[in-house]
Structure 1
């Protein structure tokens, strides 16, 4: 079996290398100087300078994050100071969303994808098999099909915060059409509905 040669990016600018480095670190990668040297065909000092520049940027503009060095692994990684979402926390949130049946399938899948994107690649691989069968058997409520509930909840919450009145139209159980102007004070969730 022939081994594939790694793709290199020779003659890249310092800015390109540092953006590449930063992007991988924010995705949860652990990178060594050797990784950078091999990818960009640069020497050890240049790789060290690139890591130092990324560290300075993070220290100056992203106060809640820090570039750490793992001496055992000889690699750098981005530490979030407790701001990140653990895979256990992410799994619980996804399971609550699935069990609530409060969203249309399309919005639910998009939200789950966004939550998983906050995790490292390995954590995503760990969680996907756990939620796969629940997601496949998810039954959305009939009246939620093709509804855009997330945006409506956000808009409604802003109206509540701004103490706005709104006019609503609805049909009663006796099939009477009613229009009301209300001043909502809260948005709650109960029995599958907001």
Structure 2
């Protein structure tokens, strides 16, 4: 290898390590390559010049210097940082939405975006979680592939006939117009309108229970997609239980009102009083009862009266279980 070719290989090697997120020490590189620190400094300057000369190509990519550590790091707009990778990996594992093999495969791909040292750190902090990882049960062979298939069907406004397992494990067929996919509480859900349902009240299907999809050539009206707002639904629905829109009011006397604020994005604190709060929120569906019941004696529903009565009846049924 000639001198110029060797120099080029070293510069590319340094640059590649920077691209992977590694911090570069001129002293350590000089020891590794057995060359002077001046030579390494020239290599770093050539990388700086390249980034400056090809700004249209590389965007705002630059070399950042950390004086205390005496190290350089490539700062790339749009690249995932190691801290972000850790966060994504933790969310992925914590969701339990995918089978273990798929989780390991995705994390391995994420690790390719970071340094060898940070890969070892990621391995270490995820070791026990991955060893004990148990994904939720699925009926379809590949949830992500099914999500992608349904996403394309939504984009193309295709009418579908799906084979589906209901909660009681009864197998049914449904003709639907798919309008959105959201993720909530361990599962992906397909939001759809039933074929021929003039009310166009959306129904929810767990994607992992969809065992077959027949795509029809006919398309549904684009207006169905425009009318539905999955962001609005996510703010107001709990545990993906369908039902009507309602405004609720309740007293909360628990130790952390922040937990309620986080769980119900539409919450308004109407009153702060001794021992608690009076809270109002807009919600969809009957899942709100599950959340309120999970708060035990910290919650007392005030409005609507129908919800307060349903809560009281449910608490009575629960009490009877312990006295039967």
> Aligned to 2:152, which of 145, 149, 158?
158
Matching of residue 137 in structure 1 with residue 150 in structure 2: no
CA distance in 2, matches of 1:23, 1:174: 52
CA distance in 2, matches of 1:142, 1:118: 30
Contact 1:32–1:76 (Cα < 8 Å) also in 2: yes
CA distance in 2, matches of 1:152, 1:50: 48
CA distance in 2, matches of 1:20, 1:69: 19
CA distance in 1, matches of 2:66, 2:133: 41
Alpha-carbon distance, 1:21 to partner: 1.1
Contact 1:102–1:192 (Cα < 8 Å) also in 2: yes
CA distance in 2, matches of 1:188, 1:176: 23
Equivalences for 1:1-194 in 2 at 5 Å?
A: 11=3, 12-40=5-33, 42=35, 46-59=39-52, 60=54, 61-80=57-76, 83-87=79-83, 89-143=84-138, 147-172=141-166, 173=168, 175-178=170-173, 180=175, 182-194=176-188
Change (3 A) 1:140 1:81: closer
Contact 1:10–1:40 (Cα < 8 Å) also in 2: no
CA distance in 2, matches of 1:26, 1:82: 12
CA distance in 2, matches of 1:77, 1:57: 15
CA distance in 2, matches of 1:82, 1:165: 36
Change (3 A) 1:38 1:100: closer
Give TM-score, length-normalised by structure 2: 0.47
CA shift digits 1:86-118 (9 cap, x unpaired): 42x434433332232210111111122233443
Contact 1:66–1:81 (Cα < 8 Å) also in 2: no
Change (3 A) 1:84 1:64: farther
SS at 2:173 equivalent: strand
Q: Which has the higher contact order (CA 8 A, sep 6+)?
A: 1
More strand by percentage: 2
Runs of 4+ in 1 over 6 A off after TM superposition: none
What count of residue pairs does the alignment treat as equivalent?
183
CA distance in 2, matches of 1:15, 1:167: 58
Contact 1:69–1:76 (Cα < 8 Å) also in 2: yes
CA distance in 2, matches of 1:34, 1:99: 41
Unaligned runs of 5+ in 1: 1-8
Give TM-score, length-normalised by structure 1: 0.72
Change (3 A) 1:162 1:62: farther
